[in-house]
Amino acid sequence: MSILNKTVLVTGGSGFVAIHTIVQLLQIGYTVKTTVRSLKSKDKIIAMLKEAGIQDFSNIELVEADLTTDNNWTDAVKDCLYVLHIASPIFLQLPKNEEDMIRPAVDGTLRVLKAAKKAGVKRVVMTSNFGAVGYSHKNKASIITEESWTDPNEKGLSPYNKSKVLAEKTAWDFIAKEGGGMEFATVNPMGIFGPSLGPELSSGFGLLQKVLDGSMKAIPDIRLGIVDVRDVADLHIRAMESPEAKGQRFLALSGGTMSLLEIVELLKKQIPGVTRRATTTPLPTWLLRIIALFNKQAKSLLPLSGIYRNASNEKAIRILGWKPRSNEDAIIATVESMIKWGTLKTE
């Protein structure tokens, strides 16, 4: 492999984080290969790249590859110096058996790592999540760092977060035992917000939509760790390029948390037209617990209510020189996107 090679594989190219990462890689001169489950996604990806200002598509190649099969992964990683493994298995609805979510995440991660090692890739950076770090953290007075791990057997842990922690643990185990000289790092984001490059909005936007469109009649005590998608993309590239990132995990968050009530108050000042239907009536966790007995939406929110997970972004700032936007900037960019793509209307 040539030392001048600047080809990066980004898995899951049509995803929220992946497309922003591809944009930034192209902007700084990399050649990008990206996997998609179907080449039918090509027009959608090109449209999103154009939305971000990309006009030259000669340095991007799409490869049809799915995390659940071996097909085409050899072609995907061929001639790549780096792999950014951002894709996760997609489920249109939660499977009845959690193993049906966990196995594709674990097996897909191993599939990518094995193909990358065989191709002589220098470094793989994997997108994990905060669910793999801080969900077993019981000491509310202390700050969560990259040293923490979520216990996959933690009571109440969602199948999604369980799949992420097991996939990440599997990856580190593979690197330790079979990785050879291949380097590895992970990025572990909290709640990802920011601008969408297309009309298919990230799942994390749904909570904001429910708050702002009035479907939530009272605001539960939920605090969010927030990070802008543009900063998550930037952190992946820093973790890919920096020698100091080898063998490291990096929490991705802007700093501090914001409650849903604080988000409403921010938007009342900055974009008041989207808050006409939003309530500021608080919903205590004890009352949410009662409502959750007969309300599916309340039940889905209950694991988040009254939980305070304070984490640190100090490591990414210190080691990689990362400079994330504020929580407020990320939220405002999110809402502006929702207005732009017609998900929210100003009144």
Each residue's pLDDT tens digit, 80-93: 999 999 998 766 56
- The residue ranking higher by pLDDT, 322 or 91, is 322
| Residue 71 domain-assigned (yes or no) | yes
Residue 125 pLDDT grade (very low, low, confident, very high; cuts 50, 70, 90) = very high
- Please report the pLDDT score of residue 4 as a whole number: 52
What's the rounded mean pLDDT across residues 118-145? Answer: 92
Each residue's pLDDT tens digit, 9-31: 999 999 999 999 999 999 999 99
- Please report the pLDDT score of residue 303 as a whole number: 80
| Residue 317 domain-assigned (yes or no) | no
What's the rounded mean pLDDT across residues 54-68? Answer: 96
Residue indicated by tokens 């990008």: 32
- Please report the pLDDT score of residue 73 as a whole number: 97
- Please report the pLDDT score of residue 250 as a whole number: 98
| Residue 281 domain-assigned (yes or no) | no
Q: Residue 110 is encoded by which pair of tokens?
A: 């191993």
Q: How crowded is residue 211: how many other Cβ atoms within 10 Å of its Cβ?
A: 23
Counting the structural domains of the chain, the total is 1
| Residue 212 domain-assigned (yes or no) | no
- Please report the pLDDT score of residue 107 as a whole number: 95
What's the rounded mean pLDDT across residues 190-215? Answer: 90
Q: Residue 323 is encoded by which pair of tokens?
A: 């400079």
Mean per-residue pLDDT over the chain, rounded? 92
Residue 94 pLDDT grade (very low, low, confident, very high; cuts 50, 70, 90) = low
- Please report the pLDDT score of residue 75 as a whole number: 97
Give residue 15's domain range. 7-194+226-253
CATH number of the domain enclosing 135: 3.40.50.720
| Residue 83 domain-assigned (yes or no) | yes
Given a cut of 50, whether residue 44 has pLDDT beyond it is yes
| Residue 2 domain-assigned (yes or no) | no
| Residue 272 domain-assigned (yes or no) | no
- Please report the pLDDT score of residue 97 as a whole number: 82
| Residue 156 domain-assigned (yes or no) | yes
